[in-house]
Structure 1
């Protein structure tokens, strides 16, 4: 696959975790999912160094399998609300499932709100998942791991959210997170109190926080996939009052400045790690 084809395919992934890619010892493998509730699958071996690995806000639930032969495990992660260090085991190989933003898989016996900024051991919130766990950790083949999870998830469902939450979430994405609560009230006909209650029950965070997450990911996405991007224009398009505000927010959520991030993801060290199946 050419670099152009690779980057074209990567445009379908709206939830980015760039520091995971850079933490890979060699290749960071990616695969689309057949089920729209799943954003994508990924797999990588962690570099054996002391550099911190950050997760950034993406609004997603991840299930991450540590496929180490002697100490395998599986954890469920909710979205962070700012750049957060993840304690990966150095030299271990991981297989990950990232659900689409705002999707809460119903086989997890926990609320969306309980997952935000938290991690849980998979078998603690679903003790009936041992067969899937054994299948995934007992193969080193990424495509087989994807197939096992898709076979399992074919019998599952995403948790249903209210029509109001869906309407608000769709509008947040349409505006790249640059939307006010007054606009949500006008859109739905409900008060902010009702909108917030429904949204937190369904998604785990308030509409305001979800908008912040979407705006962060929109900035990351545009930097990743635009060759001639002016950061000042991006800040304006996303509704920041000025570039200083944009830089401050970006650094808090992504752990670096927009310019340094741009230099990282446009570098061959980043692009050459990506392997799309």
Structure 2
């Protein structure tokens, strides 16, 4: 089954995080600028590496280690990247929806692309850091984070004069599964192409063209995660056309650029690691 673009909701996926852990817990929010919270622990028995793939989002990842706790703000990658992590340590994370995050000191959304920055360098909140890294209670950590975050989020949303334009741009991209050109965005918003490029970079840290490419990739991931090898092989051409690729080879080339593997091999990995059993949505 191929998802219709109109049914597509941004729920950014990092499948290799799930494949590299025995249990990956996910609490879906999809509101107030947050996609979801997650937690995991990489066990000795799991040999798979944790690899980040492009998703257009910002994460805050906390390592809740008694001796050496840390937290990093992680911008979207543009190519697959090995994530530094250690076995038998508990991690808690929050993934923001594209264009959303804490409002950090002295850095822009573009500054975070392909970067990891220590949280306390951009947010002066040791209390938040200590409360989250000192425990391993997933629900409590979510509560602590939301108590700090919601006040800042509400303030920013009421003072962000570009909020409506940001929402129009993101909804237009999602509704078309990334198949919209910059001039079409400009016409829809009633602004010049130059202004749309400028505002998009400020709000998302990426150009509209690059962001659309990432969303099309994420849309492809959603379809593959709900597919199986036999159905995928039968619908390969249909899927490529649905997503706006020139042909199958174009789709495979783009997928390889973002994952270092092919769609077929990716589905095999999902089945081999029993992906759906490891992903626990609460």
| TM value normalised by structure 1 | 0.88
2: CA distance between counterparts of 1:73 and 1:218?
32
CA-CA distance at 1:248 after TM superposition = 0.7
Q: Given the alignment of the two structures, is residue 135 of structure 1 paired with residue 131 of structure 2, yes or no?
A: yes
Q: Which residue of 2 aligns with 1:234?
A: 239
Q: Distance in 2 between matches of 1:268 and 1:116?
A: 29
1:209 and 1:55 mapped to 2: Cα distance?
17
TM alignment of 1:73-84, pairs within 5 A: 73-84=70-81
The within-5 A match list for 1:34-73 is 35-48=31-44, 51-73=48-70
Q: Distance in 2 between matches of 1:191 and 1:154?
A: 33
User: For structure 1, which segment, 61-70 or 186-195, has the greater mean C-alpha deviation from structure 2 after superposition?
Assistant: 186-195
- Matched with 2:192 is 191
Shift of 1:73: 0.2
The 3-state SS of whatever aligns with 1:96 is: strand
Counterpart-to-counterpart distance in 2, 1:221 and 1:139: 32
Q: Displacement, 1:154? A: 2.3
SS at match of 2:24: strand
Whole-angstrom distance in 2 between the partners of 1:165 and 1:130: 31
Alpha-carbon distance change, 123 to 100 in structure 1, aligned in 2, over 3 angstroms: same
| Alignment equivalent of 1:144, drawn from 108, 121, 140 | 140
Q: CA RMSD in A?
A: 2.1
1:249 is matched with which residue? 254
Partners of 2:266 and 2:138 in 1: how far apart? 28
1:183 Cα deviation from its structure 2 partner: 1.5
* Runs of 5+ consecutive residues of structure 1 not aligned to the other structure: 1-10
Residue 274 of structure 1 and its aligned partner are, at CA, apart by 1.4
Work out which of the residue numbers 63, 85, 88 in structure 1 matches 2:85: 88
How many Å separate the matches in 1 of 2:239 and 2:175? 16
Contact 1:168 1:184 in 2 (8 A): yes
Q: Give, in whole Å, the separation in 1 of the partners of 2:192 and 2:150.
A: 37
Contact 2:80 2:259 (C-alpha < 8 Å) held by counterparts: yes
Whether contact under 8 Å (1:59, 1:210) holds in the other structure is yes
Task: Give the aligned partner of residue 225 of structure 2.
Answer: 224
Gaps of 5+ in 2: 1-7
Aligned residue pairs, count:
265
- Mean alpha-carbon deviation: is it higher for 56-65 or for 79-88? 79-88
Q: Note the C-alpha offset of 1:51.
A: 4.3
State the TM-score, normalizing by the size of structure 2. Answer: 0.87
1:174 and 1:190 map into 2 onto residues whose CA distance is 20
Specify whether residues 144 and 12 from structure 1 end up closer, same or farther in structure 2 by C-alpha distance, changes over 3 A only. farther
Matches of 1:34 and 1:250 in 2, distance apart? 25
